[in-house]
Chain A
């Protein structure tokens, strides 16, 4: 008998992460191949209301750890919750979205259970009955294919790489409480400051409009923001403009910023340095708008526009607004 997949579902302040639901959807697809159960773990305080949203991805069971120790995140407290769920369910795999919470939490629990972990997985394959996890390495310049030889293994999945299952009606998931009292919490979150302005989270956005030095100055973010608003996109940036203080590091895409793989990435006045490409080259469609036909970004784009961002971007915003209104 197979042992199933456990998925850690991230919520912050009562908000579910879309990327967690993508991980849950992929768990469902993998588990169906072997007729295995999928169990979702949700931890927090007063989070039961999130269960129907989770049920849409058809887990067999939702385990809920719900008490005041989990109001805010702590690595050790959440590690205790995840460990307890694993001990209870005895899964083969533990999946999670590759978010900052997961990067903090998942490897800690993997080490506690003496188990291997592959992070930032962009694809799951099967070969000769073995599961293979594909992990982009060297900033996406190579793909590592990994195989496990352990009774339990952990994986965190890159967002926008695994399609979401959205069943119309909530699957009649079994909901079960799991009582966990963290024992030894020596560091915990005391406050969260939400960044102003960014409506769509960069690493999860389906569309990103990014600006580089070619936009000339911070006063011109407004121009890109208008395109973002029309497309429902998140605003990204190159390191050059982050270093210049035009925008917060939160927005930086690339080697030392965020890795993103949206459906559409529009690079405005970005040269396409290797460290920038590192963060966005796995985007499905890449548009480059740059006035220098020799800019390296043109070698990596799906559609290239040689032109001045100040002329092209406002017109593009207008055209998109018209098209989307139709």
Chain B
């Protein structure tokens, strides 16, 4: 719940406690190569970044904190590639960072990821939990809804506009051919879609400050879940990762614009049979 503190009689400050889930993902420019195990990508030379949608989640949390005061904690599950991303998060103004890390957590499926995040977040007394709508790379769009269920929170996903007043939220979501407005109560889980805000870059001062901050590390034992997420406990697994079949060399259509248009229309109708 929101903690309201009234200072003297004129100034009212509401403190918010926010959790943000951030995922470290391969840069979107990465050329994908399949690793020798046939289920992972080759990770050497891959640059890891904050999943772009999580940047909107972080920004929205920062804006709320600016307005109401309070505290933001970022949570990320992953290996060493997470550290830089959490530093970046701290540099943007997030207060605390929790790195959830254990050899057992390799190649987690979405349900296990949501369960682990829930284990780490549940007791924190957060007013809002922010996620990105999708972790790029895995392209699942699942963890936010799963996490909302496991934390027993109402949710609004793929949000492009958010207003919070008192213990109510109003969110605009992008759906097929329309926008819809969702109203609900806090605490809640919100997942961010592009358009929600313009993420800030970390300031030099922020980067310096972030270097001195400590990143809390929690393993399976610390979360009280030892053995629960081991590979043999998972209910779905990737058995193979392949590259899509290459497209055959395309046909270039020569000539003057008029001829090109004519040939193209004909090919679309007679050869490709798509119009």
Interface residues of A (CB under 8 A from B): 12, 17, 73, 75-76, 79, 99-101, 103-112, 114-120, 132, 135-150, 153, 185-195, 198, 201-204, 207, 231, 249-250, 255-257, 263-264, 274-275, 278, 281-282, 284-288, 298-308, 311-312, 315-316, 318-320, 322-324
Min CB gap A29→B, angstroms: 22
When A and B form their complex, what is the total count of cross-chain residue pairs whose Cβ atoms lie within 8 Å?
281
Interface residues of B (CB under 8 A from A): 26, 28-32, 34, 41, 52-53, 109-111, 114, 133, 136-150, 153-158, 160, 169, 173-185, 188, 194-195, 234-244, 247-248, 250-253, 257-258, 260-262, 264-269, 272, 274-275
A257 to B142 alpha-carbon distance, docked (Å)? 17
15 contacts between A and B (CB under 8 A): A73-B180, A108-B148, A117-B110, A120-B139, A137-B138, A138-B30, A139-B136, A142-B34, A187-B182, A192-B181, A204-B176, A286-B247, A303-B264, A312-B260, A319-B266
B232 nearest in chain A by CB position: A149
Contact A193-B268, Cβ < 8 Å, known A147-B239, A274-B29 = no
A205 to B37 alpha-carbon distance, docked (Å)? 37
Interface of A is mostly: mixed
Residues of A contacting B180 in the complex (Cβ-Cβ under 8 angstroms):
73, 189, 191-193
Min CB gap B102→A, angstroms: 20
* Cβ contact within 8 Å between B236 and A149: yes
A146 to B242 alpha-carbon distance, docked (Å)? 12
A91 to B45 alpha-carbon distance, docked (Å)? 44
* Cβ contact within 8 Å between B241 and A117: no
Residues of A contacting B156 in the complex (Cβ-Cβ under 8 angstroms):
187
Tell which of B26, B236, B237, B261 touches A319, judged by Cβ atoms closer than 8 Å: B261
Min CB gap A115→B, angstroms: 7
A151 to B250 alpha-carbon distance, docked (Å)? 45
* Cβ contact within 8 Å between B139 and A108: no
Min CB gap B165→A, angstroms: 14
* Cβ contact within 8 Å between B139 and A135: yes
* Cβ contact within 8 Å between B253 and A194: no
Min CB gap A243→B, angstroms: 10
A63 to B143 alpha-carbon distance, docked (Å)? 28
A323 to B274 alpha-carbon distance, docked (Å)? 12
Most buried by A among B30, B250, B253, B258: B250
* Cβ contact within 8 Å between B235 and A186: no
Contact A189-B244, Cβ < 8 Å, known A120-B141, A146-B236, A301-B250 = no
A105 nearest in chain B by CB position: B145
Most buried by B among A17, A116, A136, A306: A116
Residues of A contacting B158 in the complex (Cβ-Cβ under 8 angstroms):
100, 103-104
* Cβ contact within 8 Å between B251 and A191: no
Min CB gap B119→A, angstroms: 13
B115 nearest in chain A by CB position: A111
Contact A136-B176, Cβ < 8 Å, known A103-B145, A107-B141, A231-B275 = no
* Cβ contact within 8 Å between B109 and A111: no
* Cβ contact within 8 Å between A307 and B257: yes
B259 nearest in chain A by CB position: A315
Contact A110-B252, Cβ < 8 Å, known A75-B154, A187-B155 = no
Residues of A contacting B28 in the complex (Cβ-Cβ under 8 angstroms):
139, 255, 274-275, 278
Contact A256-B194, Cβ < 8 Å, known A143-B241, A145-B242, A319-B265 = yes
